[in-house]
Amino acid sequence: MKKLIRKKYTFLRVLAKIFIVLLLLPLVYNYIPVKKGKSTFYLPSSDINTVIDTLKENGYGVSDIDKIMLQYFKTPKKGWYTVKKTPKKRFKFFEQLSQKKEKTIRVKLYAGENSIELTKRLAKNLHLNHKKLLQEYRRLTKYLEGDIFAGYYQVSRKADERAVITALFQASSERLKVFAHQNCSNASNPNELELKVLLIIASIIQKETNNKHEMYLISSVIENRLNKGMKLQMDGTLNYGKHSHKAVTPKRIRRDRSYYNTYVYGGIPPAPLCTVTMTALDAAMHPKKTNYLYFMLNKKGRHDFASSYKQHVRNIRAFRSKKKKQKKDSNTTKSS
């Protein structure tokens, strides 16, 4: 009987020790300070794993134990944060973090720009170093161009080049993820090649027009030509890299031997050409059902579409005739 009582007593004593250790562990852990990292950073999600991973990436000394502890605190929301001073107590750091959301400004990224143009504009607007911004872009890029979507973004003025580009990549990646979830056949695990092809086609569309309605028509021309095994033969594909926004001449078409030259090579270019809008991406995914195989820019800045080469030639002749008549009328008016 005494042995049984002694065993029970020993068991209760061990249990009490474990309880005391578990009780003291958070208190002890609280006094292990968080190693300070970058003062300003972007948090792409309020998910606990993302919070800890983001803090780690920005140099803060946090661990998987913090994931457990963070469940008992108010999780910081998605957005920009600036930590001026890290408190000595660990719990105070997480409590303070949820209250230290940083003020931001809105920046606009324009469609049709390449990474050099995009980072130049950002450098000017945010007073940052262009070379460092471009370096960070190239460190994170998956597609060479078109990784960041055109549109408005909230950015902290206190952020450095790495934080800004990382935030823009994360925000764009989230937009692409939502798009894939809504449109791709395997929404939970979209095919990376499929997304790249869509971005390439979207960038061709973006180079050819900014008109939302025409984007779906141009997308149909691309789809119809590819299905028939025809070369795309689109000037926009030659507006890549250093050739962005430059007029495509017959001489340039003859001399350019890159795979971006869709007058020479079949299929699509090897990479996206520029930043695109979500509308251009949607047009690439959902081309309008037409028989169009040709299009040309008209005097009004819109496009005339044709299902046959004969109709396309008639459109060209009509455009040239109208242009010639307008020039003649203009000269007559000047001479009178």
CA distances from 260 to 196, 208, 243, 268 (A): 15, 15, 11, 8
Task: Say whether 165 sits in a helix, a strand or coil.
Answer: helix
The pLDDT value recorded for residue 64 is: 78
- If one counts every other C-beta atom within 10 angstroms of the C-beta of residue 197, the result is 15
Give the integer Cα–Cα distance in Å for 85 and 80.
16
Q: Would you list the domain boundaries of the chain?
A: 24-97, 105-183, 192-294, 295-336
Distance, in Å, from the CA atom of 101 to the CA atom of 98, rounded to the nearest integer, reads 7
Closest CA to 145 of 207, 235, 92, 78: 207
Closest residue by Cα to residue 174 from 40, 41, 45, 42? 45
Name the DSSP letter for residue 260.
T
* Burial classification of residue 258, based on how many CB atoms lie within 10 Å of its CB (0-12 exposed, 13-18 middle, 19 or more buried): middle
- Going from the first residue of the chain to its last (336 residues), give the mean pLDDT of each consecutive group of 10, the final group possibly shorter: 53 52 55 77 87 86 77 81 76 73 88 95 94 96 95 91 94 92 72 91 95 95 96 93 87 92 95 96 95 87 86 79 56 50
CA dist 309 and 232 (Å) reads 14
Q: DSSP letter for 213, please.
A: H
Cα four-point dihedral sign 108, 145, 293, 318: positive
Rounded distance, CA 31 to CA 26, Å?
Answer: 9
Q: Which of 274, 210, 264 is nearest to 242 (CA)?
A: 274
pLDDT for position 267 = 94
pLDDT recorded at residue 187 = 57
pLDDT at 136: 96
pLDDT for 277 equals 96
Q: Is 274 helix (H, G, I), strand (E, B) or coil?
A: coil
Token pair in block for residue 85: 């001073």
Per-residue model confidence (pLDDT) at position 49? 87
Residue 223: which of 204, 239, 248, 238 has the closest Cα? 204
Query: Strand 79-82 vs strand 105-109: parallel, antiparallel, or unpaired?
Result: unpaired
> How many Cβ atoms from other residues are within 10 Å of residue 49's Cβ?
11
